[in-house]
A and B are shown apart, each in its own frame.
Chain A
Amino acid sequence: MKIILNNLIPKPLLDGPKVNSEVWLLPLFSFSEHNKYLIYSQSGKGKTSLLSIIYGLRTDYEGVVLINGNNIRELTRNNWVSLRRNKISMLFQGLNLFDQLTVKENVMLKNTLTDFASESNILSWLDEVGIKSLYHKKVGEISYGQKQRVAIVRALCQPFELLMLDEPFSHIDEENRQHAFSLVSTAVEEQKATLILSSLNDKQYIDFQKFRI
């Protein structure tokens, strides 16, 4: 999936101090197919805003965003739903899990929409990130780090050409981070997808193209 940004900036950033970024307000910035990108900066610089704009959740921006040549401002509500089911998957910084549902119900809610993964696949992914034992536990009752891993597995339950992860490992210990990262990398490889990952710093992620936002 090819994404082109043209002079893009969220409106709230226009009111703040002068923007010094490798992404915002560039005449041409592109995410090309089957590449890995790291968007990093300290808090408040617009990492989440960028991913939200590309995912169609925010429209308060100036500039143009093209996905596969189409201006995303012209997409209808149903176009977005179709993209979110078949082309773009996202792990939200706030995770957007349902606390009142179990881990299984959360993952299955997404998977029944796409019918993408088998239950045994899902169980093996959960096992890989160390939370298989929580399968029937309510999400509201598990730790934030565990929730992040549930959200990662849910994000993989669909076909995608672009996977966006917004600070996905912020509350996960190093060992589990490596397992989770390996799971994500395999899925991205298998689906020949583009990966955009946001983080507070540019440590690790060796084979990524890195941009300070």
Chain B
Amino acid sequence: MKSLIKLLWSNNNKASIILSTFGLLIGYFIILISINISLMVNNTINQDETLFSKDFLVINKKVSFLNTISMAKSEFSEKELNEIKQQPFVKSLSPFISNTFKIGAYTEATQNIPGFYTELFFQSIPSDFPNIKDKRWVWKANQQEIPIIFPGDYLKLYNFGFAKSQGLPQISAETIGKVSFNVKIEGQNEDKIFKARIIGLTDKVNSILVPKEFMVWANKKYGNPDQNPGSSMLLIETDNTSDPAIFTFLKKHNYETNKQRIKNSKTSVLLKIVFSVTLIIGLLITVLSLLLFILSLNLIIVKSKDEIAKLFQIGFYLNQVLSFYGIFLAIILIIINIAVLVMIYFGISFFSDTLSSAGFSTNSTDFFINLGFALALSFIIYMINIVSLRYQLRRIN
């Protein structure tokens, strides 16, 4: 091997190989970082898609002065519900039910979480709503713990408004899931204390959600029978949230929808375009570097042509010479992989910090996803080079 290195490698100019290796490294980095950031941003924008699928809308009636002076109802009537159900874009419809009893949430002060008491409201949608995927999203009679889905905006309001102004610790999305608090419900001269646990955050519904079974039970036992728990908000499943027919219908009937969701999807599309362009640039750099790399290797072979011919003449198999270059290529690719994974680690940390300080909760991409992408890319580059090298070597006799 030592003799082969002397023969096939040491008398060559290494500058072009080093240059193309560096180019490959940059190309790899751009591809991986754009995939990573794209995944992170997608996760951030759609982080409650683990709870809800993409294709639903929350609609409600526009609140006007008439609502304030109680001349117009904000609840949907049976007739209105039927009309909405019949729209072609509606796959399913679930009305939100509100509580008609008093709810107080409180917790004892601990080291990390300050003690608090607040009055709350709950709303519910059916527990079997097909798009809520968390297994804990269920309540059975006599169950002491109530699962809750909490609006992400409330947490932001607390973290960046209340907590900062009061000097209280900020709470991350992960921490909040670990905290349980007490919920006291009162009505009909009775009260009961439950444990409540936030099982997820959503930016799509501006309401505190509990399972329907709990709400029906509690409204029946503690609720004010004179108060209508009816449906002022509707959850609509649809095939395409950007269907223009939806907006025409909503506008015509003076209904509102969760605009944030639509805004997010627009931002998401825009970001996807930006990241696609970055990805294409990364791919372009990789392809150009790969070409330079192939040319450099070919140049090395051309320069070593006489030595290679002599090796064949004294009894070397083509595959023996090819494997020498294969090992050399594998070493370069291993170096590139290690370097790029380190670069990605620091790049993502930086980006993650930037997102966090802007108020987003982020999940870094799994190391193995990066490793998988890098290895897949390396495999393709390796195979292309081996095919090219074999072709070059076959031309030498």
Binding site for B on A (CB under 8 A): 55, 57, 77-78, 81, 84-85, 90, 92, 96, 98, 100-101, 105, 108-110, 113-114, 154, 158
Contacts and interface: CB of A to CB of B under 8 A. Distances in A.
B307 interface: yes
B63 to A, nearest CB: 84
Contacts of B3: 98, 101, 105, 108-109
24 contacts: A77-B318, A77-B394, A78-B317, A81-B315, A81-B316, A81-B317, A84-B315, A90-B313, A92-B313, A96-B310, A96-B313, A98-B3, A98-B307, A98-B310, A100-B6, A100-B11, A101-B3, A101-B6, A105-B3, A105-B6, A108-B3, A109-B314, A113-B314, A158-B315
B11 A84 contact: no
Contacts of A77: 318, 394
A81 B312 contact: yes
Interface string B1-31: 0110011001100000000000000000000
B220 to A, nearest CB: 86
A137 to B, nearest CB: 15
A113 B316 contact: yes
Given A100-B7, A108-B3, A84 B313 contact: yes
Contacts, number: 46
B7 A84 contact: no
A57 B397 contact: yes
Interface of B: 2-3, 6-7, 10-11, 307, 310-318, 394, 397
A5 B326 CA distance: 40
Nearest to A104: B3
Contact of A101 (B7, B314, B397): B7
B302 to A, nearest CB: 17
A114 B2 CA distance: 18
Contacts of B6: 100-101, 105
Contacts of B7: 98, 100-101
A95 B394 CA distance: 23
Nearest to A105: B3
Contacts of A158: 315
A105 B313 CA distance: 16
Closest 3 pairs between A and B when the two form their complex, measured CB to CB: A85-B315, A84-B315, A96-B310
A114 B312 CA distance: 14
B132 to A, nearest CB: 64
Nearest to B307: A98
A91 B11 CA distance: 26
Contacts of A101: 3, 6-7
Contacts of A108: 3
A105 B11 CA distance: 17
Contacts of A85: 315
Nearest to A101: B3
B323 to A, nearest CB: 14
Contacts of A98: 3, 7, 307, 310
Contacts of A110: 314-315
A105 B6 CA distance: 10
Contacts of A113: 314-316
A138 B266 CA distance: 71
Contacts of A105: 2-3, 6
A105 B3 CA distance: 7
Nearest to A92: B313
B397 A84 contact: no
A186 B382 CA distance: 49
A92 to B, nearest CB: 7
Nearest to B318: A77
A134 B137 CA distance: 85
Give the interface centre of A55, A77, A81 by most chain B CB atoms within 10 Å.
A81
B64 to A, nearest CB: 87
Contacts of B317: 78, 81
A98 B314 CA distance: 11
Contacts of B310: 96, 98
Nearest to A77: B318
Given A55-B313, A81-B315, A105-B2, 18 more contacts: A57-B397, A77-B394, A78-B317, A81-B317, A84-B314, A85-B315, A96-B310, A96-B313, A98-B307, A100-B6, A100-B7, A100-B11, A101-B3, A101-B7, A105-B6, A108-B3, A109-B3, A154-B314
Nearest to B313: A96
B300 to A, nearest CB: 15
A89 B7 CA distance: 22
Contacts of B394: 77
B5 to A, nearest CB: 11
Contacts of B397: 57
A48 B313 CA distance: 15
Given A100-B6, A108-B3, A57 B313 contact: yes
B318 A96 contact: no
Nearest to B7: A98
Contacts of A96: 310, 313-314
Contacts of B307: 98
